[in-house]
Amino acid sequence: MMDPVTVGSLLVLLMVVLLLSGMPIAIALGATGVVGILAMRPWGAAEYLLAGFPYSYTATFVFIVLPLFLFMGYMAFSANLSKYAFEAGERWLGHIPGGLAMATVFSCAAFSAVCGSSVATASTMARVALPEMLSRGYRASLAGGCVAAGGTLGVLIPPSGVLVVYSFITEVSLVKLFFAALVPGVLTAIIYMAGIWIWVKLDPALAGHRRDEVRFPWRERFRSLVRAWEVMLLFGVVMGSIYAGIATPTEAAAVGALLSLLMVLRRPDAWAKVRQGLWDTGTGTSSVFFLFIGAGLFSMALNISQLPTEISGWIVGLDVPRLVVFLLIIFIYLILGALIDGISMILITMPIVFPIVVDLGYDPVWFGIIVVKAVELGCITPPVGLNVFVVKSTVPEMPLGQVFVGAVPFVLMELLIIALLVAFPEIALFLVS
């Protein structure tokens, strides 16, 4: 009979084969886990482990935060909060070269603070900002690229759905992760806007053959902030209560879901939007929980095999600087981010990678931010580049190749931000400490 470590290695190989065959990720993970448990445990013990696992693994109070944040995001989407965020950005930044693209990034950051979804942010801003930029003579590459890249802020700026998943899988404090993500999220938006300014300075034709001559008076600029009061209220209540220690993430998510619902009820055709939001929340939650169950079975099988412990001990014992090992892990994540979606990437890799990172002495909160940055990068790099395809599907006349070309400078900016976070972990950790 094979030793458990060998079985664990074969399980990883089986999982890769199933994924390459095109099997849905949740089913591939779950099937691999079941095969591994049956191979390493007697039938009676395996039946006991598997019988109640789906319920016992997901029937946890902390999981309530996921559908609540999803519902809040869908309601914020339905309430068109992105429109007011874009108007505010346009009035403050529109007169600068490349100002509309900067305003798009600003509004993506603002909408991400009440949404938590990269896809929803990119899709919403594609509808709001792309027509305006194209009508002003912006090239498709800059217009599409800044929307696709700006949408990635939805997976970093709290309340981030990816951070919620990372917290569940690793048992790292979600409050600490939200604290840690705030400064990198703002820094990313600032670097994006600075990069757009430099890009347009080097090639002014990117932003049209004339500069946007409209310079709004200060009174109108401040009025635009007043019109965006719903965005500021939702972020202030939800994230402010968490940062101040007044509410737990679950309690804040419940209040945010209620507030966003009330905002939608003020709009025309409100009940149709609420029904659609409930449907989307239910299907989205079911999909994520299906992934959770599959990943949990896979993780259980690996833990029984002791493969993560063996790999962690072997890597930690290598006579190489720990930074070399960490950079190799980051490189793997950058490759995976271009091939699979972020939640699946976290669920697949964490059972093996997380023990290694902890044994190397790295802060798990900081590592969570690094992983999310890798997810961001994967959203705008081929062949998956989910945000790029979202922009294309939302505005069909937008050339797909031009959006990918426009995303290249933002890929370079993301690599710069990751390098800064690796060199200066305090960027993410000083609010936590």
pLDDT the model gives residue 1: 54
Distance CA 401, CA 178 (A): 34
Report d(CA 43, CA 33) in Å as an integer. 14
Residue 86 has which token pair? 């874009």
Asked whether residue 46 is assigned to any structural domain, the reply reads no
| Rounded Cα gap, residues 121 and 133, in angstroms | 17
Structure tokens at 364: 């798990």
Nearest to 296 by CA among 26, 10, 20, 59: 26
H-helix segments, 360-399:
364-378, 386-394
For residues 286 and 296, the answer to whether their CB atoms sit within 8 Å is: no
Which string of b and e fits 378-407 if b means at least 16 CB within 10 Å?
bbbbeebbbbbbbbbebbeebebebbbbbb
Cβ pair 306, 8 in contact under 8 A: yes
Give the separation between CA 107 and CA 121, rounded to whole angstroms.
9
Q: Report the distance separating Cα 379 and Cα 255, nearest Å.
A: 30
Q: What is the pLDDT of residue 166?
A: 92
Q: Is residue 286 part of a domain?
A: no
Task: From first to last of the 433 residues of the chain, give the pLDDT tens digit.
Answer: 567 778 888 888 898 898 888 888 889 889 998 998 988 888 888 888 888 888 888 887 777 888 888 898 888 878 878 788 888 888 888 778 888 899 999 999 988 888 877 888 888 888 888 888 888 888 999 999 999 999 899 889 988 888 988 998 898 999 999 999 999 999 999 999 999 999 998 988 888 755 445 677 878 888 888 878 888 888 889 888 988 888 888 899 999 999 999 999 988 888 888 999 899 888 888 888 888 888 889 888 888 888 777 877 777 777 788 888 888 888 888 887 777 777 788 888 888 889 888 888 899 999 999 999 988 888 888 777 788 888 888 888 888 889 899 999 999 999 999 999 999 999 999 988 7
- The CA distance from 39 to 59, in Å, is 27
Is 312 a domain residue? yes
For residues 387 and 152, the answer to whether their CB atoms sit within 8 Å is yes
Closest CA to 189 of 249, 253, 146, 237: 146
Question: For residue 295, is it within any domain?
Answer: no
User: Please, which residues have CB within 8 angstroms of residue 159's CB and are 6 or more apart in sequence?
Assistant: 69, 72, 116, 178, 238, 239, 249, 253, 256
Count of domains forming the chain = 1
Identify whether 400 is part of a domain. yes
Structure confidence by residue, pLDDT tens digits, 99-137: 889 999 999 998 888 887 788 888 888 888 888 888 888
CA distances 154 to 158, 182, 329, 340, Å, are 8, 12, 23, 17
* pLDDT at 291 (0 to 100): 85
Who contacts 35 (Cβ-Cβ below 8 Å, separation ≥6)? Answer: 11, 14, 301
Residue 290 resides in a domain:
no
Are the beta carbons of 95 and 213 closer than 8 angstroms?
Answer: yes
In a domain, 55, yes or no: no
Radius of gyration over every alpha carbon of the chain, rounded to an integer in angstroms: 22
- Kindly state whether residue 47 falls inside one of the protein's structural domains: no
- Report the pLDDT value the prediction gives residue 207, as an integer from 0 to 100: 81
pLDDT at 181: 94
C-alpha neighbours within 13 Å on the C-beta side of residue 170: 31
**What's the pLDDT at 177?**
94
Domain range for 371: 61-267+306-429
